[in-house]
Amino acid sequence: MHKAFISGLSGLELAATERAFLKAERPAGLILFARNCGTADQIRRLVSDALAAIGSDRVLVLIDQEGGRVQRLKPPIARLLPPAAVFAAHHADVGAACQDAFLLARVTADDLTSLGLNTNCAPVLDVPVPGAHDIIGNRAYARDPSLIARLGRAVADGLMAGGVLPVMKHIPGHGRALADSHLELPVVTASAADLDASDFAPFRDLKTLPAAMTAHVVFTSLDRAHPASTSADITRDIIRGSIGFDGLLMSDDLSMKALNGSFGERTRAVLDAGSDLALHCNGDLAEMQQVAAAAPELSGNALKRFERAVAVTRAPRQPYDQALAEAALERLLATSA
């Protein structure tokens, strides 16, 4: 049985200590970063070795391949991708923008699955506002919640058509944050009504997607004491409640400076709040051991949601017009240069 956490890896090869850790603790997922990506063959070997150590291929293997400034894989390993904002910015017709978003996500799925990766931490459904920190910026599809939802749906559909699990982020919304949660804890003072009408809307529209990642953001109108990722009230009343999301819920990275406490305490905080999986990204083995010690085995509804998410990665891949996708990619890269 898998434990309720996702683990990073330290480098290009699986260290003996990591192999023993993965064998003993059996995380439900792995996440790769640029430090893990040297060549295509090396990535395939690293993923294969990690899965062999875990003793299962029913593992989510994640990466952030949004496009723009957030893409861990670069040429020649994978195609260069434009930022999310390019679709709406360079299309007057929403249908055409959505078609391009679908095609680029579908071809991205080919890149990921060819390397043994089956989960992409995208689409970003955050709604940016004027004056917000640029941590989201052009990672957002637009400023209009309904347009964000339509483009996010197209991206999610393109990924799933290629056998890749999409993870929408950062539920219930990171677009108003005035700080980078990698470095400090953002505090959002908007009213509950404003949040519900704007920030939550894209997530509500896409509530049937199979996976989501929480935000390390305090919403003072909802819970003054805890960021959304560690707030049982927000998980219950907003994410599972008014938004209505019933898919696999994972925390954002536990090693971000928005959180405090030991890594065992952080793990318990996000899981006790209602996340199904605790995400730890930086590959520090001592920290990973604390996370693993605090994470229980997956069971109950969390296990059911995990199994539904894994099923997405095992569904038959849908055919598509690759030449059309390549042409769209070339065109959008040229316009975003």
Which residue in 252, 253, 276, 280 is the catalytic one?
252
- 253: β partners: 279
Burial class (CB in 10 A: 0-12, 13-18, 19+), 282: middle
- 63: β partners: 32, 120
Q: Is residue 188 within 8 Å of residue 220, measured between CB atoms?
A: yes
Which residue in 41, 182, 272, 321 is the catalytic one?
182
Alpha helices (runs of H) in the chain, residue ranges in sequence order: 16-25, 40-54, 86-89, 94-113, 145-161, 192-194, 201-205, 232-233, 263-273, 285-294, 300-314, 322-336
Encoded tokens for 221? 């109108």
182 an active-site residue? yes
Of 306, 255, 270, 280, the closest CA to residue 9 belongs to: 280
Neighbours of 221 (CB within 10 A): 14
91 an active-site residue? no
Q: Give the residue numbers annotated as catalytic, written as ranges.
A: 182, 252
